[in-house]
Every structure is written in C-alpha cells, then in structure tokens.
Structure 1
Amino acid sequence: MMMSKVPDQDRRLRRFLIGLNVATYGLDGEYLGSDEAEIIYLAFVVYDCQQDKLIDTFESFVQPVDLNKVNWEHLKQRLVDENEVKNANKLADVIAQLESKLSDALKLNNGGGFGDAFLKNALFVTYGQTPLRQCLHPEAANKGINLSEPYWQFCDLRKEYCQVFNNSQPVNSLKEIFNESCSGNENECSFQSITADVSKAIIHLVKEASKRSKFHPFSFFLFNYI
C-alpha cells in the first residue's frame, strides 16, 4: 500500500469524481469489513469537476450469500427494508449494473466497461480507506470478482480535508467536512443519507480547493493505492 502525490499535469485529466459508499450488515466506520460481514449496499456518486456539478447517484442494495447471518433488527435502525435486501441481486451483478450506469453517465463508449477513457477521466473518492481496502476488495477476492483498475486508486476525503484547509487535526465525522453539525449517532443514519453526505463533502472540498489553487480544483488531492 502507498500514498503518492500525483503531478498536477496528470490531475488535470481527472474530470469526474466517483464518491463511493459501501455498507455491510455488520460493523461500520473504522471497523467496516473487519468482521467480514457481507456488503448489502453499494452506491456511486458522480461529480463533474469541469461543470462543477453533481451528475447523478447510482445505488443498490445487495443480497448477501448467507441471509441467516443478517441481524434484521439492527438493520431496521438504519432504515433498511428487509425485502429490499432479500430481493436484491448478488454483489457481482450489482457492481456490473452500477458500472454500466456509470459508463452511460460519463458518456463513455467503451463496450460496457470502464476502459482507458474512464481511467483518464475519473477517480474514486471515499470517506476513509476501509470501503475499498478493508471491505470491497477482500469480499470481491473471496467471491472471485475481478475489480477493474479504477478500484485500485482512490482519494480519502479525510486526508483531502486536511490538505485543502492545511489542518493537521483529524476529521471526526463526514458532516464535519462540509461544516454541518452531527445530530445523534452517524452509525444510525440510513445508507442513503450517508451517500448524500458523501456528495456534499465532495462538492464542498472541490469548491474550497478551487479557491486555494491556481490549477485544476483537484490539484490538492492525494491518491491512495490499494
């Protein structure tokens, strides 16, 4: 694993930011994926840096292989409808469906996959490193799902917040990034509301970065590699 600052010339090629939200039926936050609970929700938030606007949000529940391990009472606290999970597609199919919608949204004619055009124009953005490193990648490997190259590098919103605002203090919540007070326990919020917060955080950081940089709004951002 490594983190590297990418040259500004390369950063200017990254037009689209893909906010990624992943949720399992188990632990959240820093512990997401550590209990090997399966993914039951996946979302992509698409932001166009060139037009400075949110394009769309693509999300889906995911049916885990072993439904007997799911604590449905716990998920009710997250406003999850049991039937939506039970009737959802498996992870491999959900990833394929969301990628297809994503490709259409980015207007990439690459045969249904990401391809070179996606690699040059988009970058995944997460809150923390657990969604990809500790959750999606391990589960995909266990299920024989091959994740394409875009999933192997990403930006961590927490690190970007510190970079943009030249702040060494750690971010304690997603809402803190876009200056909104947190009411109650974030772990009791719905998956959809957290996805909405990811989009707000991206929009806020891009706008703040553009005020502080003479280059592309994302010239501040650091890339992380799986």
Structure 2
Amino acid sequence: MKISEINNMTNSNYLVVLFCASAGKNGEELGIDEEQIVLFVYLLYDVPNNKVVAVQQHYCRPTPNELSETVITDDCKQETGLDEDIIKNAQPLDHVMDEFDRFLVAKGIHPDHGGKSFCLTTDGPNHIRQAMHPECGNKNINLPQYLYSYYDLRKEFVKMYKAENITNIGNMLDYLGLPRDQSSEYGIRQCQEMASILHRLIVDGHIFGEPDVVNERLEPGICSKSDIVDDEVVVRARGLPWQSSDQDIARFFKGLNIAKGGVALCLSPQGRRNGEALVRFQDQEMRDLAIRRHKHHIGQRYIEVYKATGKDFLNVAGGSNSEAQAFLSRGGEVIIRMRGLPFTATTQQVPNGIHFIMVR
C-alpha cells in the first residue's frame, strides 16, 4: 500500500498506544475498585511508515490513603507480575505524566510545541475513562488536551472486520491469526500486541474516523417533561453528601460523558436535598461504565450507583418553564430557586446580573 494512501486513513501522523495497570484489578475490571495506577506504558506508532518508533514503561507509586492497606494487591501481582518493592520506590503519577509529556516533545509530536499530530489508542475505554481521568481528578493533576480523545482499538477492529465477541487483545490476535508477543514485561507486551493489530488494520485499509471524546465539563441545561429519555442511559446515585452540587456529582463520574443538563438532584418533601441524584449519560456505554463506580467514594462516603429509568429522570428533572429554557439558550449557566420571598417581591429587588423568573 502506498504511503499517500495510508496518510488518508487517519487524521493523525502518529498513534500513541497507551496502557495502564492499577494496584488492584485490571483488564475488564480496571478502575472498578478505585485502586491507583502503578504501571504506565506508551508506544509511539508511525502511521505513514506503519511501524513502531519507541516504547516506554514507567512504574508509579500510589499515594497512601485510608482505602488501600497494601501497595499492590494479590490480584495485581498475579496478573501483572509486578514487584511491590519496585512500586514502593517509583515516582508518583504526576512525575510520570511529566515524563510522558517530555517524551512527546522529544519525538516532535507534542501539540504545544509545533509537533506533528497524534491521537491516543487504547484497548477499550477503561484506561482513559476509568483510570486516568478519575485518578488525576482526585489528585488535582491537570490533564493536557490530548488526553481528552482516543481511538478505542476494539471499536476500530469491529468496524473493520465486523467481528463479534471482541473483549480483549487476545480475541483480536486470535481472529487475525497473529502470535502473542514474547516480551517479558507485562505492559510492554500489551502495547506490542496492540501495535501488531494496528499494523494489520492499516495494511488491510482500515480508515480511522473521529476518535472518542471525553467531555471536559458538565454542560448546563434543563429538561422538559415532554422530552424522551432512554431507559438505558440513566443511573441513580445514593448516599451523596447533602451539600453535593451537580458539579460534585460530575466530578464523581469524571471521565464519563454526562448529557447536557444531565444531573438532577432529588429533594425531600421539605425541599431539601436528600442525598440522591438521577444522572443521564450520553449513551449506554457511559451508563454501563458508571454502574462500575458503585460504592466508589466521595471523601469518606461510599456512593451507591444503580440503574434507573428515563421516567425516573424526568420525574425529577422535567420542567415546563419556557423562560428558563430561553435563559439557558442565551448562555446562562446556573438557575437557582429562591423560596420564602415576600409575595410582593419584584424583579427589580434582585441583584443586577441575575435574570429573574417570577413563578407564582
């Protein structure tokens, strides 16, 4: 295949294969137990020349906390073969992220230094959405823009070959008749095997379209009772601190795309928050990932996450106020409800800069 033809297969000159392992469960269960990242591996793939340029591996030292009694669990040791003493003496995640950034600069592909374009590639969504974004959010590590989009190798594989039951790297290798990589290091082995799959995809003419995108923030919006909300995109979160805002709940689900105006706080009959919220996600994939955060924590409190229905969401979030809809459409971001106002209150008595909607 000609290089000019390969260049048309993706918007990026390079793909950066990314792989993480946590101190607890990994694979399909990565992120389910809130364990921190202990292994961070990346591989640079030159798309026009269809070859591996470099691969780097870093160990990460977890931050001690009351939720983790050991540095790495037996599950992690058994699956990854990692040594606890190596992890204890490793750099913290923020230092490893800085190393990754310097690697991109050195290879001439960092977007802030005039580099050639690249996009991340992962085996499934967990590495980005369930590990990297939640942990960096908890540790107040600012993620660069390039970590907000990625190609899901499994999705690209299914698009190309119309294959079924593709749930891991091994399934893809077996489908294509490709051998397992013989590298001794667990993470490097995963990245090299993904590179073999990428090579075959490119040779077979696969076109990489638009990457998956991680939303940076919760977009404001309101919902009408006449809206149709799919039952497969809603969860109920219970056990929230009473003072939790919609932004606090969005942070709990960091890495997952919540629909516009998709957080509805439940109120008691007295009009107070009751520690529950209905959350509407962008699609079923996001909802299914959200369910895996059942009993994850906000501070010391664990939060229960269950499936809910579109009707549940509308019962809490649905409104019919056309003025509020118009306010948000003009760029307004926050609506508050004021109770106990004198019946004679007027819009002129509200501070300047606040658009007041009188409801009698």
TM-score, normalized by length of structure 1? 0.77
* Contact 1:19–1:46 (CA under 8 A) maintained in structure 2: yes
Q: Which has the higher helix share?
A: 1
Asked which structure has the greater RCO (Cα within 8 Å, sep 6+), the reply is: 1
Q: Does 1:115 align with 2:112?
A: yes
The one-letter code sitting in structure 1 at the alignment partner of 2:71 is: V
Any residues of structure 2 matched to 1:120-139 within 5 Å, and which? Answer: 121-139=117-135
- Give the Å deviation of 1:165: 1.0
- The CA distance in 1 between the partners of 2:167 and 2:10, in whole Å, is 30
The one-letter code sitting in structure 2 at the alignment partner of 1:177 is: M
1:166–1:72 Cα change, 3 Å: closer
Q: Does 1:92 align with 2:86?
A: no
- Give the Å deviation of 1:202: 3.1
* Contact 2:173–2:179 (CA under 8 A) maintained in structure 1: no
1:57–1:116 Cα change, 3 Å: same
The one-letter code sitting in structure 1 at the alignment partner of 2:168 is: S
Q: Which residue of 2 aligns with 1:212?
A: 205
- The CA distance in 1 between the partners of 2:85 and 2:94, in whole Å, is 19
- Root-mean-square deviation over aligned CA pairs: 2.8
Indicate the SS of the match to 1:146: coil
* Contact 1:160–1:222 (CA under 8 A) maintained in structure 2: no
* Contact 1:92–1:145 (CA under 8 A) maintained in structure 2: yes
Q: Does 1:80 align with 2:76?
A: no
Q: Which residue of 1 aligns with 2:280?
A: none
Unaligned runs of 5+ in 1: 1-7, 184-189, 214-218
- The CA distance in 2 between the partners of 1:175 and 1:194, in whole Å, is 14
**Number of residue equivalences:** 201
- Give the Å deviation of 1:82: 1.5
- Give the Å deviation of 1:60: 0.5
- The CA distance in 1 between the partners of 2:70 and 2:93, in whole Å, is 16
- The CA distance in 1 between the partners of 2:82 and 2:108, in whole Å, is 32
> Structure 1, residues 12-71: CA drift from partner, whole Å, max 9, x if none?
440111111011111112321121111111111111012211011111100001174334
Unaligned runs of 5+ in 2: 1-5, 215-360
Q: Which residue of 1 aligns with 2:213?
A: 225
Indicate the SS of the match to 2:185: helix
Q: Which residue of 2 aligns with 1:172?
A: 167
Percent of residue pairs identical? 23
* Contact 1:175–1:181 (CA under 8 A) maintained in structure 2: no
Indicate the SS of the match to 2:25: coil
Match of 1:17 among 11, 15, 19: 15
